């Protein structure tokens, strides 16, 4: 869970960096929404992790075991090297981020399904008299947020594609229609 907290923290930072470099206000706001959710998830997971045991993993250890965290770190470096994020970059990043959000959702879903978590919760309830059955609900809420994040990213992608299509439309200038008529068909 500590590694998931680190992943969410890095994801939050990634969305912050992207939103800071996007010029379209609505897209910037949608990215900020995902950033704040990810930060919230990070804090929740950190607290749950610390209530169970002292976290032993650090970012380096967690990164070795998580392809999702490695991808997030690569994207952070890539975005750091960009001065601003163009429409083309935003479309490409949205697609990558949608895949990332799906992977994160899968990790949470697998965690909820694992019998070990249920046994852990029973043990902790007995040892500390803490009701951690609500942890499952926390994970389910995070899964729902991840699904919503994918929908937001799809919306961003659609908005960007439409904006790009509008800006790539050919500019046509019409002349006065009187100039189109050079003669009547009987003149030919």
Tens of pLDDT, residues 16-40: 999 999 999 999 999 999 999 999 9
Mean pLDDT, to the nearest integer, of 135-162?
88
Q: Is the pLDDT reported for residue 10 higher than 90?
A: yes
Residues 150/88, Cβ–Cβ less than 8 Å: no
Q: Does 184 have pLDDT greater than 80?
A: no
- CA dist., res. 24 & res. 5, Å (int): 30
Please give the pLDDT value at position 48.
77
Burial classification of residue 101, based on how many CB atoms lie within 10 Å of its CB (0-12 exposed, 13-18 middle, 19 or more buried): buried
Q: Is the pLDDT of residue 146 over 60?
A: yes
Answer whether residue 188 shows pLDDT above 50. no
The Cα–Cα gap between 66 and 3 comes to 8
What's the mean pLDDT when you consider all of the chain? 81
The pLDDT value recorded for residue 162 is: 67
The domain 2-165 is classified under which CATH number: 1.10.3470, 1.20.1260, 3.40.1350, 1.20.1250? 1.20.1260
Model pLDDT, residue 111:
73
pLDDT value for 124: 66
For the record, the structure tokens of 96 come out as 């990558």
pLDDT band, residue 121 (cuts 50/70/90): low
- Where along the chain do its domains lie? 2-165
- pLDDT value for 109: 79
List b or e across 38-62, with b for residues whose CB sees 16 or more CB atoms inside 10 angstroms.
bbebbebbbebbeebeebebeeeeb
């Amino acid at each position: 869970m500590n590694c998931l907290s680190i992943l969410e923290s890095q994801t939050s930072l990634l969305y912050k960096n992207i939103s800071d470099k996007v010029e379209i206000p609505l897209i910037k706001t949608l990215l900020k929404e995902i950033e704040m959710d990810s930060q919230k998830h990070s804090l929740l997971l950190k607290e749950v992790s610390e209530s169970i045991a002292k976290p032993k993993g650090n970012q380096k250890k967690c990164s070795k075991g998580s392809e999702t965290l490695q991808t997030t770190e690569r994207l952070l470096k890539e975005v750091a090297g960009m001065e601003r994020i163009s429409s083309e970059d935003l479309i490409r990043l949205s697609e990558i981020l949608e895949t990332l959000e799906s992977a994160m959702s899968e990790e949470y879903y697998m965690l909820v399904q694992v019998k070990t978590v249920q046994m852990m919760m029973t043990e902790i309830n007995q040892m500390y008299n803490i009701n951690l059955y609500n942890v499952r609900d926390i994970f389910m809420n995070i899964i729902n947020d991840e699904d919503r994040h994918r929908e937001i990213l799809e919306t961003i992608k659609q908005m960007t594609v439409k904006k790009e299509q509008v800006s790539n439309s050919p500019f046509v200038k019409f002349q006065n229609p009187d100039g189109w008529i050079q003669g009547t068909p009987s003149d030919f």
